[in-house]
Every structure is written in structure tokens, then in C-alpha cells.
Amino acid sequence: MRWMYSPQADETQQVWFKRSIHMGEPTASAVLSIGSEGRCIVYVNGFNVSTELFSSNPRGAIGIHDYNVGHLLTKGTNTIAVWYSPVSYGRRQLYAVLTGEWQSGRQYYIADSEGWLCHAANARTLPDGNEEIDGRAYLADWKDYNWQEESFLFSEWQPAVEATDLEPAVITFCRDDAPRYTMQHVLRRSTFSQQGRTLTYDFGEPVDGWIRVTMRGMKKGEVIEVNGLRYICRGGTDDQACRRFTTSSSGIARITLPAGRSQSNITRVEAIKIIKTIKPQKY
């Protein structure tokens, strides 16, 4: 297995990986296998192909996920992008294999690490299970962020490095019936209180998932904290602070605002309940 990692990333840095693959003819079927020590979101030609909010695997193990992507591949240039978040630091950040069959009936297998590029994302996953997100580096939204060539200057992308001399590790193959992180529903707050610059929103029930805060009128570079999430505002019309690869357990959102800001800058506070679901097996 040819594992890749970003040589610039430290143990907390989230990373974007991408590769452009030229298809000489139309493909009849294709399976993209992605493995990682961390958590990932996978894009093919800009479409999120992940079957859950983010891939998950036991701490200390490697998860292998398969994605059917034949319907997204076209003749010509295709781009695969992976947004990686560390769980524990290691060089097994990404393993990628594309297998399939051309419409002519010939099969193909692409597993080399050549051509993969990497770039630091605008976020970190901290050892205490929280995240730090720099909103100043966002484009329009998560979906469009960084999978395209123009998302960064091409010169800022660096080749991913193939990892060698790795110790043995446990590999978990994530089947269709494995537990998956999925969004259940969104809650609005039931009560509100304030003490100094800290706003408290109570949702009236336990929530394991994300708190999403939408703001207006924030200045670029201002920092807010939401239940351990540290978000650096991008400024402009609207800012939205929300975790992406980690969750927190609480039915209360505690939001600490920068000096000079108040509840009038908060336009919406939502609790997104995330659950682990199991897809029923077919017999």
C-alpha cells in the first residue's frame, strides 16, 4: 500500500490532497478506494462522494472506504480531491486507488502516488478534540473550497511524499453496513442568557454534534469561540462558524464574542444533531 503525507503538516494541520487524472476514453465503472489514519471528505470533479459527513475509523486504526464514482468520471481530465483531518499524527494520511473498466471492456488500475499534490487547509484539529478554523481563507462555501486548480496559486501546492519504513497497523475495511455519521435534524435555541461577552443558548435537550453560528457585521480577523471551536472571522456580509470533523456533546451553546460585539451580531444559532447510523444489509 502506497501511503502519502504532507511534509509541511504538523500533528494538528488539516490538509487538502488532489490529483488530476486523464481518462483517454469513457469509463463504464469505477471504484475509488480511500484509506487514512484520520478522517476524510472525498470529492470527484467537485462533487462530494462521501457517504457520511466524514469518514470515521477507530483511533489507532486505518479505515478503508470505497466509493462508486464511475458516473462522475468523464473522458479527459478528472480531479480527485481529499480533505484530510488528523486523528492521531502519522504518515499514513492518504492512500488512494482508482480501479474500473473502460466502455471498451478493458480494465484499469491507478495506484501510484505520482501526481498527488497537497496544501495546508484553513483549519486544524486540536489534540483536545476541538477545531480551529480560519474563515479568512474560505471561498464561497465548503463544496467549492480548494478542489479546483484556481483555489490556490498552483505554485503553492507541493508534491505529496510517499511514506516508507512504516510500522504495521490495524486496517478496518468500512463496509456498507458499518456505522456512519449522519445528520439527524437541526434544533433552534429555546432560552438565552448573557454574562459579559459570553452568550448562552439552551436547546432544551442533549445534543451530540455541531453548533452552527451565523453572524453579520463581524470584522476580518475577529475571533469567536463556540463550545471549544475557535473561529477567525472572514468579515463581509455573513460569517458562519461550525465544526467539520469533530463533535461536541452538549445541549447548550456558549459563545464568547470579541470586545465590541453583542447579540445583535448573531443572526442564527443552531444545534445540528449527528448520530451514528447503520445501513441495513441486503439479503
Task: Give the model confidence (pLDDT) of 11-57 as tens digits.
Answer: 999 999 999 999 989 899 999 999 988 899 999 988 889 877 877 76
pTM over 0.85: yes
**Same domain for 28 and 96?**
yes
- Based on the fold, state whether residues 165 and 231 are members of the same structural domain: no
d(CA 219, CA 168): 48
Domain containing residue 225: 179-278
164 compared with 210, residue with greater pLDDT: 210
Query: What CATH number is given to the structural domain containing 223?
Result: 2.60.120.260
* pLDDT tens-digit map of 69-128: 999 999 998 999 999 999 876 788 999 999 999 999 999 999 887 889 998 888 999 989
Residue 213: pLDDT over 60: yes
SS (H, E, C) the chain: CCCEECCCCCCCEEEEEEEEEEECCCEEEEEEEEEECCEEEEEECCEECCCCCCCCCCCCEEEEEEEECHHHCCCEEEEEEEEEECCCCCCCCEEEEEEEEECCCCEEEECCCCCCEEEEEEEEECCCCCEEEEHHHCCCCHHHCCCCHHHCCHHHCEECEECCCCCCCEEEECCCCCEEEEEEEEEECCEEEEECCEEEEECCCCCEEEEEEEEECCCCCCEEEECCEEEECCCCCEEEECCCCCCEECCEEEEECCCCCCHHHEEEEEEEEEEEEECCCCC
197 within domain boundaries: yes
Q: Which residues pair with 278 in a beta bridge?
A: 179
Instruction: Say yes or no: 154 and 192 in one domain.
Output: no
User: What confidence category does residue 169 fall into, taking pLDDT thresholds of 50, 70 and 90?
Assistant: confident
Same domain, 10 and 86: yes
Assess if residue 283 is contained within a domain.
no
Q: Which residue would you say has higher pLDDT here, 157 or 177?
A: 157
